Chain A
Amino acid sequence: MAVSRLARLAAAAPVPVFAALGAGARGPVEELTLSDDVTLVDSPRHATVLLVVGAVPRSLIRPLSQVHDQLAHPRATAWWSSEEATLDPLPQATLIRAESDVVLAVGGLHAALLRGERASELDVLPDEPANPWRGLGANGQGGEGMMGGTPYGRPMAMTGEDRDGLPLDQLHLRLGPFLPAFPAGLVLDTVIQGDVLQECAVVGNPFERDELLGGALTATPPDPERTLAAMERARARHHLHGVARTLRLHGLDALARRTLALAMAPPDDGDRVRYLAHRLERSTALRWATEGVGRIDPSAAEAVGGIVARAAGWSSDARSDDPVYAELGFTPIFRHGSDAQARWRQRLAEAAQALDLAAAAGERRSDGAALELPWGDDDADRRLLDLLPGLLTGQELGDAMTTLDSLDLDLERVARAVARTERA
């Protein structure tokens, strides 16, 4: 009885939610951190509810099932998705429509679970070891042990040279796609020694050529004739979302919420964003975590374009050539450094500038054929993805996550660019 009272108390607490991101999921999930009734946790072991967001490509169903089974009991799955995506990622998932109140729905699931009105979900994958014990003897006993044998069917990690000359074990790990710091769908094949990434390769792109997402990706996105002010506000929102994500990654949750609140209700001009930028530039923790991390060679950065190029000292911006922007007195902001710090500072500066432009633009429209997108141009993510392995190799794991976060990489945009090329 005492236990059921405890369960009732627990049901009133914020719901620990682990978010697994599918297509088009990043922004909405971030906004959940503003709610007091939901806590986004970084590991499925801490979560009661697995929140699957967006459409999950068929190739990611197996990893998703694995993450689902890693939640401790009692657990429930909610699938937050729009109408178009039809494939159920997990059999026991409760569907939450994109337009409905997700916090309320997740809270309802959590309460029902803890009050015992809803049974905890069973495993999706069979309860057996992926690599069963294979001994040499008749009863499964014996086998090669500590020196390069294959205990439990898995090879032992073998040693390799370390940076200080002492041989250490190398771990071959496939990371992703459902890690909190990773962009949706990214899977990396890595060789890790200690906490140094010695080798790193991108394993395909699950959004590419997926029959489920195929139609949605190749279709031209509906682009109503928008005013310049609306476009610039969207740009500011995109950058503020990105900076909020960076802050959350570095554990600065309160500042992340402030940034996110600005992103959700963009102010009329850039002053509040500039004040926030000033505040963040004084943060010692953020400087330590991002200064000098993920430095990109300036010539490589120029080839990528967008924020990455402008944070590396290039002033390339497609808006410079547009007469309407010239009329508003637009000059591209750029800075030197080309590291993670330069990139988040550049994003804040551009968000503030975008809000100023939006305030000055009034009802103006631009007839420029291809204006600068918040992430550069359509192909920027593809070039960034090619650059990624070289950039992460040799970094410590924490720095690699910082770098990854600072790039604003989106595999869905890559898949879209690939689909467009194939159609052309």
Chain B
Amino acid sequence: MLLAFVAALTVTAGVFSVMLAVRLLRPHDELGTTWSHGVPLLGGQAPETHAWSRFHARYYPMAIVLIAFEMEMMVMYPWAVVYVELGAKALVEMAVFLTILSLGILYAWREGAYRWQ
């Protein structure tokens, strides 16, 4: 066990020192990277709009419906097992949990996630 640990440590240290050596000895490194290197290749043009683009996460309604209806059950099964033992405390906890979840359900409703197309 100790031997394996020492071997792993040695290999890691070895790899990192080789990387460091290559980095220090690189002949053209002092030139570095400039702004032009960061510009996307458009064939010699500079971009006119910013690269912070928004993409539509099309799986989003599916994800929220899954969490609201499926993951909820994951909590309810163990809750049902200990419910008799804990009593009113468990009932209140589940009520709080379901209230938070129902906000998600209402939001998904507003977004039209339940509309059948």
A-B contact pairs, 15 of them (CB 8 A): A2-B25, A62-B44, A63-B43, A63-B45, A66-B39, A66-B46, A69-B36, A73-B31, A127-B35, A130-B35, A157-B50, A172-B49, A174-B48, A175-B42, A179-B41
**B43 touching A169 by the CB < 8 A rule?**
no
Interface residues of B, CB < 8 Å — how many? 29
Instruction: Tell me, in angstroms, the Cα distance from A45 to B41 when the chains sit together.
Output: 9
Cβ of A72 within 8 Å of any chain B Cβ, yes or no, is: yes
Cβ of B22 within 8 Å of any chain A Cβ, yes or no, is: yes
Residues of B within 8 A of A67 (CB): 41, 43-44
In the complex formed, the residue of B with least CB distance to A68 is: B36
**B53 touching A70 by the CB < 8 A rule?**
no
Residues of B within 8 A of A168 (CB): 54-56
**B48 touching A154 by the CB < 8 A rule?**
yes
Cβ of A95 within 8 Å of any chain B Cβ, yes or no, is: no
Against B, the Cβ 8 Å flags (1 = close, 0 = not) of A55-80 are 00000101110110110111000000
Cβ of B77 within 8 Å of any chain A Cβ, yes or no, is: no
Q: B residues engaging A (CB < 8 A)? A: 21-22, 25-28, 31, 33-37, 39, 41-50, 52-56, 58
The main secondary structure of chain B at its interface with chain A is: loop
B61 to chain A, nearest CB (A): 11
> Which of A118-126, A255-263, A381-389 contacts the other chain?
A118-126
A77 to chain B, nearest CB (A): 14
**B43 touching A154 by the CB < 8 A rule?**
no
Residues of A within 8 A of B46 (CB): 66, 130-131
A44 to chain B, nearest CB (A): 7
Residues of B within 8 A of A73 (CB): 28, 31
Segment 365-418 of A: residues with Cβ below 8 Å from B: none
**Which bracket fits the contact residues of A?**
35 or more
Cβ of A35 within 8 Å of any chain B Cβ, yes or no, is: no
**B54 touching A159 by the CB < 8 A rule?**
yes
Residues of B within 8 A of A63 (CB): 43-45
Partner of B48, one of A44, A60, A172: A172
Cβ of A91 within 8 Å of any chain B Cβ, yes or no, is: no
**A60 touching B27 by the CB < 8 A rule?**
no
**A156 touching B52 by the CB < 8 A rule?**
yes
Partner of A3, one of B27, B36, B39, B53: B27
Residues of B within 8 A of A122 (CB): 31
Given contacts A175-B45, A176-B42, 10 further A-B contacts (CB under 8 A): A45-B37, A60-B44, A66-B36, A70-B37, A73-B31, A120-B31, A146-B54, A151-B52, A152-B50, A155-B48
**B39 touching A175 by the CB < 8 A rule?**
no
Instruction: Tell me, in angstroms, the Cα distance from A69 to B46 when the chains sit together.
Output: 12
B30 to chain A, nearest CB (A): 9
**A175 touching B43 by the CB < 8 A rule?**
yes
A151 to chain B, nearest CB (A): 6
In the complex formed, the residue of B with least CB distance to A146 is: B52
Task: Known contacts A74-B27, A166-B58; decide if A123 and B48 are in contact (CB<8 Å).
Answer: no
Cβ of A128 within 8 Å of any chain B Cβ, yes or no, is: yes
Residues of B within 8 A of A166 (CB): 56, 58
Cβ of A43 within 8 Å of any chain B Cβ, yes or no, is: yes
**A155 touching B49 by the CB < 8 A rule?**
yes
Residues of A within 8 A of B52 (CB): 146, 151, 156-157
**B49 touching A156 by the CB < 8 A rule?**
yes
In the complex formed, the residue of B with least CB distance to A65 is: B44
Cβ of A140 within 8 Å of any chain B Cβ, yes or no, is: no
Partner of B36, one of A125, A154, A187: A125
B46 to chain A, nearest CB (A): 5
Against B, the Cβ 8 Å flags (1 = close, 0 = not) of A287-306 are 00000000000000000000
